[in-house]
Amino acid sequence: MNRILAAAVAAAFMVTSCALAVAAPGKQSSTTLTGAGSTFVDPLVQQWVPAVAQAYGYELQYSPIGSGGGVAAVSSRTVDFGASDAPLSRDQFGACKGCVQIPWALSATSVIYNVQGVRNLLHMNGATLAKIFSGAITSWNDPAIRKLNKGVALPDLKIATVHRSDNSGTTFNFTDFLSSASPQWRSKIGTGVAVSWPGGTGSRGSSGVAATVAQTPGAIGYVDVAYALKSRLTYFAMQNRSGKFATPGLKGILAAASSDQKPDGTNALSIVDPPKKYPLAYPISTFTYVIVPLQSQKAPELKKFLFWAVTKGQKAGPRLLFQPIPKPVLVVAEKAIARIHA
Amino acid sequence: MSTHSLTKATLRAEGLPRRRAVNRLMELTAWLAAAVAVAILGVVVWSVARRGAGALDLDLLTKPPVPFDFGSTPSGLSNAFAGSLVIVGLATLMALPVGVLVAIYVNEFARPWVRTAVGLALDVLNGIPAIVIGIFVFGLFVTGHGQSGYAAAFALACLMLPLVARSTIEVLALVPGSLREASLGLGVPRWRTTLSIVLPQTVGGIVTGTVLAVARVAGETAPILFTSAIVGPQLHWDPHHALQTVPVAIFELSESPDPSDHARAWAAALVLLLFILCTSLAARRLAARSRAGIVSSR
Amino acid sequence: MEALEPPRLAVRRFRAGDLSLQTVAGAAALAAAFLVCLIAYTIVRDAKPAWSKDGLAFVTRDAWDPVKHVYGAGSFLFGTAVTSLVALALAAPLALGVALFLTELAPRRLRGPVTALVETLAAIPSVVIGLWGILVLGPILRDHVEPALHSTLGFIPLFGPPASTGSSVFTAIVVLTIMILPIVASISRELFLGVPGELKEGALALGTTRWEMVRGVMFPYARGGIAAALILGLGRAVGEAIAVTQVIGSSVGIHWNLFATGDTLASKIAASYQGAEDGAQVASLVYLALILLVFSLVMNVSAQLIVRRVARRQGIGAARA
């Protein structure tokens, strides 16, 4: 009797799942646009999901698996679009087989820290940060840090550096800055979406880094500034080339963006560590890009979505410290979007 | 050991007090080991139960997640529970018939060397780490086509197959040969004998094996990471899309900085744990009962 | 129940049905065997760009530098070896102790519940243990256990300065121990139950203490099976990706400090595969998977061979509790 009952339950379970799977084709057969990549731009894209559904009825599915993953996914056409903060190299363009790179958002990487009782916006510069992440400076009351923060009582606490364990455009942005500020970093470790970190803890995704820093006294990590805001983490004011300590706010990001208004042939821009004449610039700012195949079955929907994203979609940005993209860049972006065809 | 007369003097001469002391020590060690094991289990289950129960409410099952929200709007994991149901259900549908057929072949038709070969293949399949299966299915089904619930279900089916096949083989072997011979002697064809006479005896064992396999794969994360992890927060039942699953959701939430995410992770872990525990216990009760049934019917 | 039919038609019908079932079932068996070969082939093929370029030097190279395109499995092989072997060393005595307790020492009333508890621990999914590891175990180890061990035993390189985050090789070892323990314990328990009563009673009748009986009769009798159980547990630890990647801290490099971060083969694949962006990195990760596959195949097959030899020796159908 029990056997029959068990068999019946199992059969019912199987039949139900099968029926549900076959008979229910999801919600209304609205167009689904799938994307994956940068965790940096994830806060903004998640704001777009309900807005796009309301404006066009498209279902936007975005998965923050890291910039490297996004490039790989769109190259193998596993998704409709990819998102990367690091501009594509020539090899990557080749592997993607006819993709276009379009700047669609602008924000900054904040360097977060967790030290009890210490105020927000401590001062830091690139050279010292490079020494910290390469293991040359190991304690919070090191003279180099104290020199930048005169009058602040820094504890004798070990620094725990936290980096991204996955391929990350945020890592690219951060190491780009460190390479620009420190020749030793540039020659020994360099810039990349993943580098050979000398020590420290690796965490997956920006939220992983934010979580690790939040739970570890003495930790320093790097995440998109929206994560720092939402997690209520303290972050550094970074010294730029003009000597001022800039904060990753809208003004600082806009100032940095004015240092490069001309996207190159592949629509890439570099606004890291801008020259002296931008005193307000936050030196770890970056554009972030959407990577789309030029030819796609979902071309009309993609175009509508992307046109919306670079214009109306930017309005959702400032609250999360995404600066709306400047006009010259917008023009280039719209030209690129127009090239997408079915 | 020679047989001395068992007087205290003789025993003491052979160092009995020391041997008794060693024996006592070892018994205490074994007690201690059991206590440590029980304590570990208790701590883990208690952690999950306490934190999970605090966060468990109907929202978890009915509301979709609201990412990057830090707990300001009520959210849940409805898409993960739906996806897990669909994917595990599909995996069972894929693995069960194949597993039973393999077992029938091995037990009823195969020559000895074929039996060993297939047995070896099943053991090898059982020992392949789940993450390698994930890479395999990714290379086979996902590149060029996109992630989907079907790919994830196939990966889980690869993990379930050896479990289902092995337990069906064991249970088929328990059916007495006399039953088969009696049926064949009465003129019933071989295939009819197998399907109508032998197989019904083993339903209990097959169900047990399947339920244990389900319990095992319900919590698998690694193969799903590469086959059905690029998902949005919307609720979906269609396996042509990638679907969120409970273990992957727990994995992602566990690395979040948001305490409300942690709460949902504990609650989902509790639900998953309860499901796996109930199915495992039910399967073992069934196994004992069905084995007794077959043995007693001999 | 068939009515008697003319033999000619009956035989033909029998053959068609029999043949169909045999063909379908045979196809299923063939598919299962083919699946295994396909998995091996796919992994070898996808790793080809890496092993054709680097060959076996990859296996020992301690580097993982995506900027300079230099990859190697050395650091992860070391991490896998350390975490799995230490976890096995910690779990084995505990598991054998539990098994002995359940078969020899426990009062009858306790046996059922404790057995059920041990098997429940085996059923907990690795992601849940990883969740517990990140949020509960990691902070406890970081704040209390590791500093205490470091200050008392810090002269041993194994117990160096703790990483500040709670993610470390040591945390991964504890997590793996918790996962191996129930497997080895339940297999050992069944082995000990299978030791013939006459052998045990004979030894006791000769005046041995219970421990001497265990040492002299049960362990030698069951040693093949225990070896297989240990190998199976080791295989489980080697293949565990999710719980390890949640708590180990993902860093490259060979070092002896258990309290620092590290990485293993399976954990590296889980962390990096989804985001691997260029062909060389993907191929290197699949090469890691190939090494992992070879390891687990060797261990699983040897365990199964030992088990089969033991089963043949002891007779199939030993009484189960």
Is B233 in the A-facing interface, judged by CB distances under 8 Å? Answer: yes
B44 and B144, same domain (yes or no): no
- Residue C202 belongs to a domain with what CATH number? 1.10.3720.10
Q: Do A69 and C164 touch (CB under 8 A)?
A: no
| Interface probe with A: pick from C46, C168, C170, C274, most Cβ of A within 10 Å | C274
Nearest-Cα distance to chain C for B235, in Å, is 22
B18 and B79, same domain (yes or no): no
Tens digit of pLDDT for each residue in A274-316? 999 999 999 999 999 999 999 988 899 999 999 999 999 999 9
B250 and B112, same domain (yes or no): yes
Nearest-Cα distance to chain C for B156, in Å, is 13
Contact B98, C24 (CB under 8 A): no
**What is the C-alpha separation between A149 and A147, in angstroms, rounded?**
5
Looking at per-residue confidence, does C311 or B209 come out higher? Answer: B209
Cβ-based neighbour number of residue C11 at 10 Å: 12
Q: Which residues of B touch C4 (CB under 8 A)?
A: 187
B74 and B50, same domain (yes or no): no
Q: Do B221 and C126 touch (CB under 8 A)?
A: yes
User: Can you give the pTM of this predicted structure?
Assistant: 0.87
In a domain, C50, yes or no: no
Q: What is the pLDDT of residue A253?
A: 94
A184 pLDDT exceeds 60? yes
DSSP category for residue C117: H
The string of DSSP codes covering C201-251 is HHHHHTT--HHHHIIIIIHHHHHHHHHHHHHHHHHHHHH--HHHHHHS---
**What is the C-alpha separation between C97 and C118, in angstroms, rounded?**
12
Q: What is the pLDDT of residue C4?
A: 58
Nearest CA in chain A to C271: A166
Contact C238, C76 (CB under 8 A): no
Q: Which of residues 57-86 of C touch B (CB under 8 A)?
A: none
Q: Which domain holds residue B28?
A: 3-55
Residue B112 contacts by C-beta under 8 Å, 6 or more apart in sequence?
A: none
Residue A194 contacts by C-beta under 8 Å, 6 or more apart in sequence?
A: A68, A164, A166, A167, A168, A171, C66, C67, C272
Q: What is the pLDDT of residue C320?
A: 39
| Interface probe with A: pick from C71, C259, C273, C277, most Cβ of A within 10 Å | C277
Tell me what the mean pLDDT of segment B16-26 comes to. 86
Q: Which residues of A touch B90 (CB under 8 A)?
A: 17-18, 21
Nearest CA in chain C to A192: C67
- Percentage above 70 pLDDT, chain A: 91
Nearest-Cα distance to chain C for A44, in Å, is 20
Q: Which residues pair with A84 in a beta bridge?
A: A289
**What is the C-alpha separation between B30 and C100, in angstroms, rounded?**
7
B119 and B255, same domain (yes or no): yes
Q: What is the pLDDT of residue B285?
A: 78
Point out the residue among A67, A192, A215 whose CB comes nearest to the CB of C66: A192
Q: Which residues of A touch C142 (CB under 8 A)?
A: 216
Q: Which of residues 139-158 of B touch A (CB under 8 A)?
A: 142-147, 149
Q: Do A63 and B229 touch (CB under 8 A)?
A: yes
Q: Do B207 and A6 touch (CB under 8 A)?
A: yes
Digit-by-digit pLDDT tens for chain C (321 residues) are 455 555 554 555 557 778 888 889 999 999 999 999 999 999 999 999 988 888 888 988 888 888 788 899 999 999 999 999 999 999 999 999 899 999 888 888 988 888 888 888 888 899 999 999 999 998 888 888 888 888 888 788 888 887 777 888 999 999 999 999 998 998 899 889 888 989 889 988 988 888 888 888 888 888 888 988 899 899 989 999 999 999 998 888 888 888 888 899 999 999 888 777 777 888 999 999 999 999 888 888 888 788 777 777 766 444 333
Q: How many domains does chain C have?
A: 1
Q: How far is CA A97 from the centre of its chain?
A: 24
Nearest-Cα distance to chain C for A84, in Å, is 11
B175 and B43, same domain (yes or no): no
B38 and B78, same domain (yes or no): no
- End-of-domain residue from the set B37, B55, B73: B55
Q: Do B149 and A21 touch (CB under 8 A)?
A: yes
Nearest CA in chain B to C106: B31
Q: Side chain identity at A256, as an amino acid letter?
A: A
In a domain, C3, yes or no: no
Q: Do B255 and A14 touch (CB under 8 A)?
A: no
In a domain, C193, yes or no: yes
Contact C283, C49 (CB under 8 A): yes
Tens digit of pLDDT for each residue in B272-286? 989 988 888 888 777
Is C269 in the B-facing interface, judged by CB distances under 8 Å? Answer: yes
Point out the residue among B96, B147, B257 whose CB comes nearest to the CB of A210: B257
Nearest CA in chain B to C180: B37
Average of per-residue pLDDT values in chain A = 88
In which residue are the tokens 């088990």 written?
A: C307
- End-of-domain residue from the set B12, B33, B55: B55
B86 and B193, same domain (yes or no): yes
Q: Which residues of A touch B85 (CB under 8 A)?
A: 17, 20
Nearest CA in chain C to A83: C275
Point out the residue among A95, A168, A219 whose CB comes nearest to the CB of C164: A219
Nearest-Cα distance to chain C for A320, in Å, is 25
State the chains in contact with B (3 or more Cβ–Cβ pairs under 8 Å): A, C
Token duo for residue B182: 């009696």
B141 and B233, same domain (yes or no): yes
The mean-pLDDT minimum among A38-47, A220-229, C268-277 falls in: C268-277
Q: What is the pLDDT of residue A76?
A: 84
Contact B161, B212 (CB under 8 A): no
Q: How many domains does chain B have?
A: 2
Q: Do B262 and C21 touch (CB under 8 A)?
A: no
How many contacts (CB atoms, under 8 Å) link A and C?
102
Cβ-based neighbour number of residue A333 at 10 Å: 25
Please choose, from the candidates B143, B272, B142, the residue with its C-alpha nearest in 3D space to the C-alpha of residue B220: B272
Q: How far is CA A283 from the centre of its chain?
A: 16
Q: Which domain holds residue C141?
A: 72-320
B119 and B8, same domain (yes or no): no
B28 and B117, same domain (yes or no): no
Q: Which residues of C touch A202 (CB under 8 A)?
A: 249-251, 261, 263, 271
B191 and B65, same domain (yes or no): yes
Buried b (16+ CB within 10 A) or exposed e, C310-320: bbeebeeeeee
| Interface probe with A: pick from B85, B255, B262, most Cβ of A within 10 Å | B255
Is A165 in the C-facing interface, judged by CB distances under 8 Å? Answer: yes
Tens digit of pLDDT for each residue in A118-166? 888 999 999 999 999 999 999 999 999 999 999 888 999 999 999 998 8
- Residue B190 belongs to a domain with what CATH number? 1.10.3720.10
Q: Which residues pair with A222 in a beta bridge?
A: A111
